[in-house]
A = this chain, B = another copy of it.
Amino acid sequence: MTEAHWTPPAVMLAVDLVILTLRDSRLHVLLVERGVEPYKGSWALPGGFLEHAEEDLATAAHRELAEEAAMDVETLHLEHLNVYGTPGRDPRGRVVSVAYLAIAPGLPEPTAGTDAAGARWQRTDQVLCGELELAFDHQKIVADGVERARAKLERSSLATAFCGPTFTITDLQRVYEAVWGIPLDPRNFYRKVQKSSGFIIAADTDRKVTTGRPARLFKAGPRKDLYPPMVRPTEPFDMKGPEG
């Protein structure tokens, strides 16, 4: 706003969604197959432009999710992830995309919506290593989303959101292992989680039926922020590595 009667340039605003879930003890991300140019036929994150100038960003995110993947999860909690606005990232012109992150328990198999040729769950590790190439800069967006999820497991009780309404402590451990990508000791995990006051509380329902001793069932506790945090192991610093 340099001049009095100058009007700011308009840009196209889009939303992109990183929907993470757990399937077969592996972290998956929701992808759609693009039905229109550009990148027609490529896999991409669900998302799209604002419908009208007054549409709320979160509203647009939910709408795109329903349109492209036929998911009407009104209850899905979307969290702002980042903004991707490098000029040239979209061949259609100046598009600034606001990325949202959602994390949820075993979601249903998606079906392609009106705007997409297909929709499916994809293992995040296959996306991160480049085994499957995504449209636009969506690989970077997925990487940011996964890293955010990893960090959130440490200080928040988010992991319980990956599980169903009730779960065993082993179920919870699987979440941490899948998202962090490392194995954890069951005994120590058990102690740590139970000692974290307010994290999980016993559910007085039946136990989980399985081979072996039946496990107790728990549900998410009232605590949202964990203290002390569940610190994830990191390699120590050796004062000479290229990074850290």
Contact = CB atoms under 8 A, between A and B. Distances in A.
B231 A244 contact: no
A212 interface: no
Interface stretch (A6-14, A130-138, A158-166, A181-189): A6-14
Interface in A94-137: 94, 96, 98, 114-115
Interface stretch (A17-25, A44-52, A167-175, A202-210): A44-52
Interface in A65-97: 67, 80, 82-83, 85-87, 93-94, 96
Interface residues of A, number: 51
Interface string A221-233: 0111101110100
B82 A36 contact: no
Contacts of A82: 80
Contacts of A228: 231
Contacts of A94: 53-54
Contact of A244 (B14, B57, B80, B225): B225
Given A56-B86, A98-B83, A244-B198, A11 B48 contact: no
Q: Which of A52, A80, A85, A243: most chain B CB closer than 10 A?
A: A85
A49 B1 contact: yes
In the A-B complex, list the 3 residue pairs whose CB atoms are closest, starting with the nearest: A10-B10, A8-B49, A9-B53
